[in-house]
Amino acid sequence: MRLPARLLTIALITIPAVPALAVAHDVATAPAAAAPVLVARYNFDAGAANGRVADRSGRGTPLTVRTADRGAVRFFTAQTGRYIGLPVRCAAHAGTCPRALLEGSDDADLDPGTRTFRWGASVNVTKAQLAGSSNILQKGVATTESQWKMQVGETHGKAQCVVVGRGSKTPYLVRSTVVVADGRWHKVLCMRSGAALSIYVDGTLRGRGPVPAALSILNDKPLRVGGPNFNTSSDMYHGYLDDVYAQLG
């Protein structure tokens, strides 16, 4: 099904038209503030060369395609670009499950400390594709050092932003007030700014919660897209993705 395209912009970049799997999807609009710096962006338009997806920001590092048990990252071509699909959700009681994710590096630009930080992606997923808290984008582990993360919750199909600070295992989570697991494209943006964690869906603020102003996010873990790891109980993402990005400041 093809719906009319809508254009949204953020400071620094103007996003070209993107695949029309459903609603055209691009980087979401952030609230007005000091101009942020784009530090990572992956639009998948060039596919994967030698198993690596190039960064389009000029500051990030490539993503390496990692797979297990015959999993694969699929590239789909639409009118004006490409997007990716992750392996389908595993059948109940299956012995092995195809798995795949994309992994970057421990990039200092993705360790914001206490600075304002935004991370986002265009997502297309259904409730049937959700398994646990489906992890879209993250750096860090909740129980080790610190973390920032975007996910979609299985119970309600709503987007979620999560941060954990150094020296603490307390997660701070904000959930969108609208469902995103409806088989249509949605632009999801997470933003930590000072003592607030906010979530935007399709350019509209859909949730905000408090975090400690001193909460610092800094870890030596790689950037991961599509899942946290290859553990059998992992919260892998099983839908479609486009325009994954991060902004600092």
Q: Tell me if 235 is assigned to some domain.
A: yes
Instruction: Report if residue 32 sits inside a domain.
Output: no
The pLDDT, as a whole number, for residue 160 is 98
Question: What's the half-sphere exposure (Cβ side, CA atoms, 13 Å) at 53?
Answer: 29
pLDDT of residue 6: 36
Determine, yes or no, domain membership for 80: yes
Q: What tens digit of pLDDT does each residue of 87-99 get?
A: 999 887 787 889 9
Taking CA atoms, 71 is separated from 86, 90, 143, 193, 236, in Å, by 8, 11, 27, 37, 12
Structural domains of the chain, count: 1
Residue 20 within a domain: no
Domain harbouring 162, CATH code: 2.60.120.200
19-33, 71-85, 189-203, 219-233: the lowest-pLDDT one: 19-33
Question: Is residue 244 situated within a structural domain?
Answer: yes
Residue 68 resides in a domain: yes
Cα–Cα distance list, 22 to 1, 79, 155, 164 (Å): 6, 12, 23, 34
d(CA 7, CA 142): 34
Residue 129 falls inside a structural domain: yes
Task: Output the pLDDT for position 115.
Answer: 97
115: tokens are: 């600075």
- Residue 145: how many other CB atoms lie within 10 Å: 17
In order of 8, 117, 193, 203, 221, the CA distances from 33 in angstroms are 17, 12, 10, 15, 28
For 106, phi then psi, to 5°, come to -80, 90
- Distance separating alpha carbons of residues 221 and 40, to the nearest angstrom: 16
pLDDT in tens, 19-55: 344 443 445 555 555 689 999 999 999 999 999 999 9
For residue 232, give its domain range: 37-88+101-248
CA dihedral for 223, 125, 199, 211, sign (positive or negative): negative
| Residue 14, domain member (yes or no) | no
Q: Please give the pLDDT value at position 29.
A: 55
